[in-house]
Structure 1
């Protein structure tokens, strides 16, 4: 009798956990194996992958408890790679030397029901890329190396923006959060210091059409009434000093550099934002201080709020939450 499968030292079976349920087979295999999409497609379409003993299609969705069989050789390669991987227990606080940002360790504001709320430091990109091996995504993976579903940011903040960032620790939470952001069910508020005396009253509605210009890596946003995408923000004054103003921004759309350009184009560039005409000598003073969403964004969950205050030095320190957002309607910008 052939007992070769019984003698296999590495079982080529992957069980779908509760956090992974609902994913497409294609997504599941990419996350679990790290293989490129083309290689995964080939394995599935040639019948080398089985789900509960049956051939499946790449976009079939997986149920909790399903067993996904992969080729024994691939299972052995994954086992060997896992055995040779360095200890990642401290890597969330110790970024790679190549492209490292030397940012402080990640601070977890809240955790539960498939969501991690992170207080993102300025200078750390949400995802890695050219010149950046250190990122929120890589640090989350290092913090939770045994997770069956790799913690995944549900949205993004610009590299130099600090503040609340939500990540998902299950596929169900990820899809629910992404849907909420896409449909603008989530309320996002920012604090920013701008150069100049911002008008009192309001809140004021800023509406533009924004487009990108320049080469990748050095792109800027500009207003373009013909080809731009609609961008809407509501802005109000919190307090002011002799030459600067602290404003709160309620973001209704999420265009690249939206807050920075909309304020700069009206004569109020952000402090530290040299790219859009702001005064230098300071980090970018832009902080995502609050994210909130109503009940049932995640099935069965009540309304949620996550917040953090920025760690800015004097004279820009913010020691308490801004007052509640005014109930008065927004005023059109006419200055």
Structure 2
């Protein structure tokens, strides 16, 4: 259900948190439910004013600016995320770290990081419902829907900018645990095959190794435990390509257990027979510089019961 709400003129004093942000991006974030075409139209017509002057979409806000937003109609969703849903309440039990700047959770497998593509809500929408006073919750990075583990959410735009810079500088250390088919070679410590993202006619995203048009990619691996049925490896993605670990393991002949895109049906069948019903890929640890205190955060997310239980059923080598 949706309803149209007509808002009158808004006068907003810009604080330092939004200094440097483009005015069009500020309006898009603030006026959720308003089409971008409408936002750019009122900008083009000069109805948006900064300090009583017309501005272009690329104008960068400054602390102390007085922003005038003209009367506008917002289409608001009525089907808000209920905090009583079990899947939403579960997130409260998955908080690994939280302060006034940053939230880190152990994302459950099977839950998308955001709504869309037929999903009413994801992690970010659920957290916004659970933290109504935290007005600016934003995902710092993403995890595949079927991947569990450490996920960072910024509570302030300045924190988001700082963490994004760390990700660009490759100073954030994210390590994953994956159960792969076969006997992973001891000498295979790095995979650098370039990856290209493709979208099929169905809309499904598939990533392939592509030596010509693929983007530079690197994943480092370390063996954690060998089993008769497979190998538990630690994966450290130096780059952050879509499905990177899943494709890099599969292209070397060692796909991840229960990977429905890149997996091996025989290996997946064996693991399902032992009770595994999800992708065995878990963002186990995260090492990052806190954007405000400048201390190093080292966070670990324990394996969920399904993954831990499966490992107890495998025969060590």
TM-score (norm 2): 0.81
For 1:310 and 1:94, the matched residues in 2 are separated by 18
**Residue matched to 2:60:** 61
1:251 aligned to 2:243? no
Summarize the alignment of residues 98-137 of structure 1 with structure 2, pairs less than 5 Å apart. Answer: 104-105=90-91, 107-112=94-99, 114-137=101-124
Whether contact under 8 Å (1:92, 1:105) holds in the other structure is no
Summarize the alignment of residues 210-289 of structure 1 with structure 2, pairs less than 5 Å apart. Answer: 210-213=195-198, 215=200, 217-278=203-264, 279-280=268-269, 281=272, 282-289=277-284
For 1:88 and 1:17, the matched residues in 2 are separated by 29
Give the length in aligned residue pairs: 292
**1:190 CA displacement:** 0.4
**1:195 CA displacement:** 1.8
**Residue matched to 2:41:** 42
**1:134 CA displacement:** 1.9
For 1:198 and 1:206, the matched residues in 2 are separated by 12
CA RMSD of aligned residues (A): 2.8
TM-score (norm 1): 0.77
Q: For each residue in 1:97-122, what CA deviation from the matched residue of structure 2 results, as whole angstroms up to 9, or x when unmatched?
A: xxxxxx94352221235222121111
Distance 1:161 1:85, change over 3 A: same
**Residue matched to 1:32:** 30
Gapped runs of 5+ residues in structure 2? 1-6, 313-317
For 2:15 and 2:311, the matched residues in 1 are separated by 46
Most deviating of 203-212 and 181-190: 203-212
Whether contact under 8 Å (2:176, 2:281) holds in the other structure is yes
Q: For each residue in 1:6-63, what CA deviation from the matched residue of structure 2 results, as whole angstroms up to 9, or x when unmatched?
A: xxx9662234355444322111111111222221122223222223433333222224
For 1:94 and 1:205, the matched residues in 2 are separated by 37
Gapped runs of 5+ residues in structure 1? 1-8, 96-102, 318-335
For 1:217 and 1:305, the matched residues in 2 are separated by 37
**Residue matched to 1:333:** none
Q: 1:259 is paired with a residue of what secondary structure?
A: helix
